[in-house]
Structure 1
Amino acid sequence: MSRGLTRARFLAGMASAGLTATVAPAGAARAAEARSGLRHRGVVYTVGEGETPGTAFSTARMRQDIRAIRDRLHADTVDVTGDGVERLTATAAEAAERGLRVWLQPTLGDVPERDVLEHLAETGRFAERLRRQGAAVELSVGCEFWLFVPGIVPGADVFERIRNLQEGHVDPVAMRRRLDRFTTKAATVGRSVFHGRLSYAAAQDDEVDWRLFDIVGIDYYSCFPDRADYVRELRRHLRWGKPLAITEFGTCAYVGAPETAGMGWDVVDHDKHPEEIKGHLIRSEHTQAAYLARLLDVFTSLGLYAAMAFEFVTPDAPHRPGDPLHDLDMASYAITRTVQDRPFDPTSDWHWEPKEAFHALARHYSHYARERR
């Protein structure tokens, strides 16, 4: 989600303009609720090109990570997301070969609509080839289009669009019309190249016509003191009578991060060189781990289709022990911490180490796997 703008604030403005979706009849609406347990357990794996030479995408590293996701995290699903068709397809193929369920989600942004749709089509054609070869694969047509696809909200890039939203330089009715139009286009492209189950990763308060898709996909970052509030909020997504997948959930590793409602990453001063953590944050891997475990318990109680923790690793947010001012990992959602061989060197090699959140997920995922045997 965007810097300085919560989903709740933005979508509250949309609601005040009367922009609500027409809900399809529920049919067998509570079927997903009736199923016991969480059907698929996963993690988001981002395949971006990296911000520095040291964090550039590596096929060898990716293969090691996929094995760790299966063997150490005990996940059965990997959400392969990001841009670059070669990176996406190589990672999806590796995950499928390792026996993992693949949730393939291209997220090319800040380029013309035509390029976004071509990128989706090419990725979707590969997903279809995997599916026909017997792999368990689902295709998501993208993530939060209103933020990442130009032309829906005015602005040349994500941050300019955020400013326009914050400053009220957006016609919500026109924005909603453009969003619906593009979502329909993306669904049409997805259907034309992929014949398995189709989805989309929406912000949790977005109003989407889920009749376009087979699986409801929600990026979920709420934080409540009462477990019943999570259940009540999530149940409204079951009214479509379709499987519900949590396409992202997670938080950062500092005290108070879960209460930021998905904005925990917005604590870095990017104008400083090197970048600094703003304020006086207290690192707490326990806070992150406890939040993920709590949400997994809720998802399990509702019998949801899938949940993918965000995210496996964030190479460009290194952990710097003993240096809280520059410990960028505190602002990362990763369940592993990135440790550079040579801190502050953009060419430095690095490795990841599991955080408490990794171990918490591994315990839950392993338990679920044993129960489903």
Structure 2
Amino acid sequence: MTGTSRGRFLGWGAALGGGLMLPTTRAAAFMGTAERPRGLSYRSVVYEVGEGDTPATAWNRHRMRADLRAIRNDLHATAVKVTGDGVDRLTATAAEAAERGLAVWLEPTLGGVPEDDILDHLAETGRFAERLRRQGVDTHLSVGCEFLIFLPGIVPGDDILERIENLLAGHFDPVEAARRVHDFTRRAAAVARSVFRGPLTYAASDDEEVDWDLFDIVGLDYYGYHRTHAGHVRDLARHIRPGKPLSVQEFGCCTFEGAPREGGMGWFAVDHRADPPAIKGDLRRSERTQAAYVTDVVAACEALGLYAAHAFTFVSPDSPHRPDDPRHDLDMASYALVKPIEARPGTPASGWHWEPKAAFHALARAYRQCAAHM
């Protein structure tokens, strides 16, 4: 639910002097010399630990363990970004990932509650991250994701859907919003530093202005649309800061023709107010489109020698694939690499399993081949 397409309405960053538009000299140097970057340090996927819309789709320990085995053994990821809310779910998943030999990136995203509660949630997660780090686990901590929509009271709305609709409509004060986000980011970084001694970052939207001096790693949620590999390279390169690694905290697209053009707003293809939720318009499912996009972005990240790339996302249990009912094939508007299949379509309580999409296989090949060439 993030991405560069929101740059069209994130004027709040420009109100304080423009978005993060950085020079491309480092990328130009890379492309103009015989010695090229050695590729990504971390090839990763996002794993969300939410409560789910129903008990059947909620996080559970048994399914999480099986998923992490697939991430390590079949996707050939070297890291996993564990994100969501609920300290117990975050920490249990991170511990299992460490047991599987994966590097751990923790990113708590509690939202819609008082700021002090968000910071307490961050501190508790950060303390666990520090325990992992002291045990020798390769651990990173992100203080959160795109605070503009997660913090309460900045943009009107009872939930993320309403807040994004109000963003699109311009129903917020961009100067005040930018001030509050900047202030909270400083507070979050200070809280994280007080409990965690490892590498620290934040997942920013494409045009968000962030004081990166607060962090060790520049973090970017990337959903740019370009027809060529060179276009992605140029777009990503403008976020590179001298002496500071860049991690793509999210990248991906949905599973329909034209989805890359929609960027981080592809999930708006679902009418969530319908009962049951339904796909809008006349979209055509295309796993090939999704697979081509994720491999294009990974190739650009590898070419630039970026620090990390985290594919968004492994699975979205509440977006089932219904091949015989395109109107309710919610997986079309999902960024997930695997598709949930219900035992009885339309009945989540009947149970479900997932099957890999073309994007899963394509990303697995890319991760395996790039690692082999290191």
Q: How high is the TM-score relative to the length of structure 1?
A: 0.93
- The 3 A distance-change label for structure 1 pair 169 and 263 is closer
Q: Deviations over 1:261-320 (max 9, x none)?
A: 211111112222222111111111000001111111111110000101000001000001
Q: Structure 1: any 5+ residue segments left out of the alignment?
A: none
Task: Return the letter of the residue paired with 1:9.
Answer: R
Which residue number corresponds to residue 83 of structure 1?
A: 85
- The 3 A distance-change label for structure 1 pair 71 and 117 is same
- The 3 A distance-change label for structure 1 pair 191 and 18 is closer
Superposed CA RMSD in Å reads 2.3
Which residue number corresponds to residue 197 of structure 2?
A: 195
Match of 1:218 among 214, 217, 220: 220
- The 3 A distance-change label for structure 1 pair 48 and 360 is same
Matched residue of 1:66: which SS?
helix
Equivalents in 2 of 1:352, 1:123: separation in Å? 29
Deviates more, 1:186-195 or 1:345-354: 345-354
Match of 1:296 among 292, 295, 298: 298
Q: How high is the TM-score relative to the length of structure 2?
A: 0.93
1:317 aligns with 2:319: yes
Which residue number corresponds to residue 269 of structure 2?
A: 267
Matched residue of 1:352: which SS?
strand
Q: Structure 2: any 5+ residue segments left out of the alignment?
A: 31-35
1:209 aligns with 2:207: no
Task: Return the letter of the residue paired with 2:143.
Answer: V
Which residue number corresponds to residue 345 of structure 1?
A: 347
* Kept in 2: contact 1:269–1:275 (CA 8 A): yes
- The 3 A distance-change label for structure 1 pair 72 and 241 is same
* Kept in 1: contact 2:319–2:334 (CA 8 A): yes
Equivalents in 2 of 1:23, 1:162: separation in Å? 23
How many angstroms does 1:161 deviate by? 2.6
Which residue number corresponds to residue 11 of structure 1?
A: 10
Equivalents in 2 of 1:271, 1:23: separation in Å? 37
Equivalents in 1 of 2:222, 2:172: separation in Å? 25
* Kept in 1: contact 2:19–2:208 (CA 8 A): no
- The 3 A distance-change label for structure 1 pair 25 and 241 is farther
Matched residue of 1:67: which SS?
helix
Q: Deviations over 1:171-225 (max 9, x none)?
A: 2111111110000000001100000000000112211111000011101001112
- The 3 A distance-change label for structure 1 pair 148 and 354 is same
Matched residue of 1:262: which SS?
helix
Which residue number corresponds to residue 20 of structure 1?
A: 18
* Kept in 1: contact 2:27–2:234 (CA 8 A): no
Q: Give the paired residue count.
A: 369
Equivalents in 1 of 2:16, 2:50: separation in Å? 37
Overall identity of the aligned pairs, in %:
60
Matched residue of 1:314: which SS?
coil
Deviates more, 1:264-273 or 1:300-309: 264-273
- The 3 A distance-change label for structure 1 pair 343 and 258 is same
Deviates more, 1:330-339 or 1:53-62: 53-62
Deviates more, 1:336-345 or 1:237-246: 237-246
Q: Deviations over 1:81-121 (max 9, x none)?
A: 00000000000000011110001000001111011000000
Matched residue of 1:264: which SS?
helix
Which residue number corresponds to residue 179 of structure 1?
A: 181
* Kept in 2: contact 1:32–1:242 (CA 8 A): no
- The 3 A distance-change label for structure 1 pair 260 and 77 is same
Mapping of residues 95-114 of structure 1, within 5 Å: 95-114=97-116
* Kept in 1: contact 2:2–2:205 (CA 8 A): no
* Kept in 2: contact 1:245–1:305 (CA 8 A): yes
- The 3 A distance-change label for structure 1 pair 307 and 330 is same
- The 3 A distance-change label for structure 1 pair 106 and 152 is same
1:233 aligns with 2:235: yes
- The 3 A distance-change label for structure 1 pair 359 and 258 is same
* Kept in 2: contact 1:40–1:306 (CA 8 A): yes
Task: Return the letter of the residue paired with 1:8.
Answer: G
Matched residue of 1:347: which SS?
helix
- The 3 A distance-change label for structure 1 pair 154 and 240 is farther
Which residue number corresponds to residue 143 of structure 2?
A: 141
* Kept in 2: contact 1:66–1:95 (CA 8 A): yes
- The 3 A distance-change label for structure 1 pair 87 and 13 is closer
Equivalents in 2 of 1:157, 1:291: separation in Å? 29
Match of 2:122 among 93, 101, 120: 120
Task: Return the letter of the residue paired with 1:65.
Answer: D
Equivalents in 2 of 1:168, 1:362: separation in Å? 40
Task: Return the letter of the residue paired with 1:327.
Answer: D
* Kept in 1: contact 2:16–2:178 (CA 8 A): no
